Structure 1
Amino acid sequence: MDFSEVVSRRRMVRSYRPDPVADEVVDRILDTARRAPSAGFAQPHRFVVVTDAAARRRVADACGEPAALARGLAPWLSVAPVHVVPCVAIADYEARYAAPDKEASRGPSGWDVPYWWVDGGAALMMLLLATIDEGLAAGFLDVPAADLRRAADVPDHWTPLGLVTIGHAADDTAVGSARRRPRRSLDEVVHRPDR
């Protein structure tokens, strides 16, 4: 699949078939995601992968799926065969910017933007696009970090960004709100002060 097709197919999916995803496919997705850019090439990207059914139920419970089911929504998190928790290791920036070739740079304490979030977002997008490239679907859920940390056994020195679900989409109606709302036009999102 070429890049423009991968991008055009990217949607947030909330309904999956229970079919498993092969470990080698998950590994290819993660191998792509770990290649995301990072400030100073600090390489802070980390990923927790949960595929065991009981562990996925624990994650789903911690992420509020029982309350969603009580509101009449279909199960999403517990059905997705793969959970990935993209994380950043913030300490990697401190170590990298203390190195001789970087110590003169502004580094973590002098940046106007905390680049670990920028770099984590880049890894998240790589994860989503790599999933589509494998012919699968993905969704993302913002979850309180403490709840996700406990449920997915995230190492203490990793900071979770949220939860990505991966699997085979149940159907095309499982797509998030993108189908209900039109995408903003290029003119709405681009400012060209020189024109």
Structure 2
Amino acid sequence: MAQQLNLFDARFAPVPLRWSARQAGLAMAAVVVLAWGGAQALTLAASRAEAEAQAIQAGMSPLRAQVGTLAARRDPGTAGELARLQAAEATQRRVRAALEAGAAGAREGHAEVLLALARQASGQLWITGLGVSDDGSAIDLEGRMTSSSVLADYLRRLNDEPRFKGRPFAQLTLRAVDNNGAALPYTEFALRSTPATGTSTSP
């Protein structure tokens, strides 16, 4: 007896790959583009901070001139005004010193971290999460990799980057992901760094 074979049965449909080499490449390209965009934004922020510092420095000149004029007069009636101007100048000096020292965080921002990660991007390992402390001394990385064997080489290459040199990772977490038989299995990882030698974290 002749039998009919249903070629439209869902069991015979091609199974799409969850992750292909092309998709991994596109993901890496997206990381590079995002890193470049972040670097541009952080560079602009640093330029604005520098402009603010210069504006504060320029604003201090008239104050110095007024202080010098009042001091030369030695008029007892100007003692209060002189004290006010001196206090204003001291405040501006403290603000400028804070900007120069990067008290609100590293003046260059985190552009170098993003660029270092982009330079060491690989089709076998990609970053899915990044955390950086305000002063840049502590870094947390989360990502995925096609094989746990590539992590050691990635960390070695990352340590060659100036922004990561001498920065040990104190904690490593690995988790194999159940990908339901997909063609490209992967393992998730999380890295927690300690401050670089000679660098202290903010309280």
TM-score bracket for this pair, using the shorter chain length: 0.3 to 0.5
Q: TM-score, normalised by structure 2?
A: 0.32
Higher helix content, 1 or 2:
2
Q: Which has the higher Rg, Structure 1 or Structure 2? A: 2
More contact order relative to length (CA 8 Å, sep ≥ 6):
1
Q: TM-score, normalised by structure 1?
A: 0.33
